[in-house]
Amino acid sequence: MMSRRSLGGQRKQRREGGSGSGVKEKLRRREDGTSVRE
């Protein structure tokens, strides 16, 4: 709604704040590449 650049950042924040810290941990593990299945 502000600019396409904002949409990108908002999308990431919405994903992390969607389910709470649980999603944040999953995203962190994915970046680490340890356990993506968990």
Angstrom distance (rounded) from CA 6 to CA 20: 21
Dihedral sign from CA coordinates of 14, 16, 20, 26: positive
pLDDT in tens, 1-38: 456 565 555 565 555 555 556 666 666 666 666 655 55
Residue type present at position 22:
G
| Structural domain boundaries enclosing 16 | 1-38
pTM of the predicted model as reported, rounded to 2 decimal places: 0.20
CA distance 10 to 26: 18
Tokens encoding 38: 């968990």
> What is the tally of structural domains in the chain?
1
Q: What distance lies between CA 36 and its chain's CA centroid? A: 14
